[in-house]
Structure 1
């Protein structure tokens, strides 16, 4: 029996990663379709074998129409890590609670971009209830500095491909397997991540803390919305195809990590 043909759908917003994934898909004989706007053509509704690469807002708008199951880490995954993996105190709370902070902290939505992820001098600088709902989950983190940061595309807990993306806070992109002197340290730290607490296809950013040199998790990201930097596009595509697969193909192990459908008024 022949497998259902796959099709990779892309948002209207052209990106370097989207083009790289599309080229990798075509080399495999996988179809590629790009949206012209935010409306799903009738012939694409419930397309068999659909996958998706797009930002969270667009994915929420069209994912259900395509029949795609979107995998992401649990909102509190980073906050639940032991300090030897997180490297700092991280708390999962609501934006309403975070508005009461009276100290500087790094604040970000776990899986969305409903407001900028950055250091806030105190909670009063966070968006108000007119911009962000009070019950929106947020991660509140101690402020740390990373000397160097890497992006890992993980499939079944193993690093499928990886890239350095920053050094001392500035963009500095290079493939991990391109002779990076920290390759073995990165892979050793990746092997310590609790894979059973993550979906089978996910992106995790890790980094070396300054000035002590300890390794720590930066954050987890949905593979279907992550840039690939200098990662191998074929390896990244493997992860994306699993992270945004037909909902009917999502196995029991990944069902708890399905992104909830957006609330529609």
Structure 2
């Protein structure tokens, strides 16, 4: 990482953004918090290597103009895992198909938060066609209760930072603690099963159910909270997950987020 690199943070900076700003400063990496949802003038044409941390809306707002490669897991990654790792049936389908469900299911958008991810009593309770097109992709899964949930920041197939973030569905942030060895062992199995199906820098969430360990989901590292994870490890993964397109490893090309052209 060169000293002319910049970490650009979204205007509504969260706790993880503050931690990353401090971690960046320790290694001589300049951090810049945007004041608007546009590329700061001083970064345009500056020749500096820009990396970004913020939500999908911020990534979309500045990514194309800055020539960034924003990595995200495939929409169907979770559905493609064996059931012994997911602990439930998971399918990747369309919102139109999900609207035909006749019983309860957990339904979520696979990437962006286009509607609330939660248990729906049936398909009729999902957003209607007047709100979202039927072609919208969704993940549909059996309803399971996660007892404890953990977030792992992964780069090149190795866990660089991790944290617990929930207990019985409620926010509960803490280091891995006594569960650390089991968390890392199960995550290792997940990464081995995934092979090249994930980008080189990504977040994987796992947890325990009444039936054992299971994958929760995968997310883009540049848009994920770090909770109690080591900020330096989180920063390593974030920098790889959202940096200059010109530096992108060829193996990560399939995982590029499609960035819109923003007209000011």
Same-fold call, TM > 0.5?
Answer: yes
C-alpha distance in 1 between matches for 2:241 and 2:146: 27
Q: Give the TM-score normalised by the residue count of structure 1.
A: 0.93
- Partner secondary structure for residue 253 of structure 1: helix
CA contact (8 A) 2:161 2:234 kept: yes
Instruction: Name 1:246's counterpart in structure 2.
Output: 244
Q: Matched residues in 2 for 1:130 and 1:41: separation?
A: 36
Post-superposition offset of 1:136: 1.3
Measured against aligned partners, the alpha-carbon deviations of 1:208-258 in whole angstroms (never above 9, x if no partner) come to 112x2x111000010000000100000000000000011111111111111
- Within the candidate set 179, 182, 195, 1:185 is matched to 182
Structure 2 unaligned spans of 5+: none
The alpha carbon displacement at 1:118 in A equals 0.5
Match of 2:200 in 1: 200
CA contact (8 A) 1:48 1:246 kept: no
Distance change >3 Å, CA 242–CA 161, structure 1 → 2: same
Structure 1 segments (4+ residues) deviating >4 Å:
none
Residue aligned with 1:256, SS: helix
Could you tell me the TM-score, scaled by structure 2's length? 0.94
Q: Check the 8 A contact 2:11/2:33 in 1, yes or no.
A: yes
Corresponding position of 2:56: 56
Match of 2:127 in 1: 127
Deviates more, 1:98-107 or 1:129-138: 129-138
2:136 is aligned to: 136
> How far apart, in 2, do the equivalents of 1:137 and 1:102 lie?
19
Question: 1:170 corresponds to which residue?
Answer: 170
Secondary structure of 1:161's match? strand
Q: Distance in 1 between matches of 2:130 and 2:9?
A: 31
Q: How many residues align?
A: 259
Summarize deviations over 1:5-42 as a string: whole Å, max 9, x none: 21100111120011001110011111111111112233
State the superposition RMSD in angstroms.
1.6
Alignment of 1:219-258 (within 5 A): 219-258=217-256
Q: Aligned-pair distance for 1:195? A: 3.8
For the residues of structure 1 that align with 2:180 and 2:195, how far apart are their CA atoms? 20
CA displacement at 1:125 relative to structure 2: 1.2
Indicate the larger mover: 198-207 or 181-190. Answer: 181-190
- Runs (5+) with no aligned partner, structure 1: none
Q: CA deviation at 1:129?
A: 2.3
Q: CA deviation at 1:105?
A: 0.6
